[in-house]
Structure formats: structure tokens, C-alpha cells
Amino acid sequence: MQRYSLDANILIEAKNGPYGFDIVPAFWKWLDEQISKERIFCSKFVYDEIVYGDDELAVWIKERKKRGFIVEPNDSAQIIFKDIADYVGKNYPSHRSSEFLAGADPWIIAQAKSEKAIVVTGEVLAPNTTRKVKIPNICKEFKVPCMGTYDVLRKLKASF
């Protein structure tokens, strides 16, 4: 079964935009179904970013922490994280690499690669000339599949 590693922006943009809790509650019910089927997960570091917000989304994700939705980095992910950190440190300006490595993004990629999962993010592939570290660029470098929200909704046949 294919699994999907969600970036924080997927949940944040859904909550703030087209899938607000009060607008499309079916989206959140669908996510719960995917969690129970173990198709989607978030890194512990995504969890940390979201609960810091202390809002409705923070409450939602806290309620799902013990249901297998939140994944701690395994040994393989920790090794891959180091490889990502080395690559980013060598290929991006230090202030950009430090910013990227301090957040959840490298862990999302590392955990996905260790589990042969697909990263789901709102970010898009940037030109090679960009100085900002983007998830899709690092996914491409480390041969980790990456897609957007609507791609995964279609792939998992969501219908609201």
C-alpha cells in the first residue's frame, strides 16, 4: 500500500482555504479515514509546527497523535536526514540551509524516503538557480516522489 507524508502546509492551507473545518467537514472526515487506513502520516516535526499555532488545527492534530498519524523518525530516516543536511549545506547559502534544516521539511523527506512514501506539499519545483531550499527540489535530488494536494486527492479517489 502506498503511503503519503504530509507537509504542514497541506493541512494549514486546507484549514485556512478551501477545506476549512466549517466549510468542508467531509475533507477532515476523509483525512480521518486515510489515517485509519494508514495511508497518510505526518512527521513529528510537522506536528510540532502545527501545535505551536494553538488553534483549531492544533486541536485536530493533537487528537490524532496516538492514532498512528504522527511518526517519529526511525533510524533510516535519521541517516537520510544527515545525507540531506550534507547536501543542502553544500549547495545552498548557509542562512537558507540553516532555515530549511531547522524545520520539518528535511524530516518529511527523510521519513518518506525511508518508508518509500510520497511527499505531499504545496511547494512546487523551483528552477536550479533558486537560492531558497524547496521540498520538491530536495525530493528530486534524493529520488523521493512528490506531489500536491489535488494530486493525492485524485490518487486516493477523494470525493466531497
Domain membership of residue 94 (yes or no) is: yes
Q: Which of 29-33, 79-83, 94-98, 126-130 has the lowest mean pLDDT?
A: 126-130
Distance CA 92, CA 129 (A): 10
CATH number of the domain enclosing 72: 3.40.50.1010
Q: What tens digit of pLDDT does each residue of 105-143 get?
A: 999 999 999 999 999 999 999 997 788 899 999 999 999
Domain membership of residue 160 (yes or no) is: no
pLDDT at 54 over 90: no
Q: Which of 36-50, 74-88, 94-108, 117-131 has the lowest mean pLDDT?
A: 117-131
Give the three-class secondary structure for 4: strand
Domain membership of residue 32 (yes or no) is: yes
Domain membership of residue 84 (yes or no) is: yes
E strands, the chain, where? 4-6, 40-43, 70-71, 118-120, 146-147
Distance CA 2, CA 13 (A): 23
Cell numbers that stand for 29 in this block: 472526515
Average pLDDT, whole number, for the chain? 96
Q: What is the pLDDT of residue 128?
A: 75
Domain membership of residue 127 (yes or no) is: yes
* Angle, in degrees to the nearest 10, between helices 75-91 and 105-115: 130
Kindly tell me the burial class for residue 157, based on how many C-beta atoms sit within 10 Å of its own C-beta (0-12, 13-18, 19 or more). exposed
Owning domain of residue 145:
4-155
Q: Does pTM surpass 0.85?
A: yes
Count of domains observed in the chain: 1
Closest residue by Cα to residue 76 from 108, 104, 111: 111
The amino acid at residue 14 is: A
Domain membership of residue 97 (yes or no) is: yes
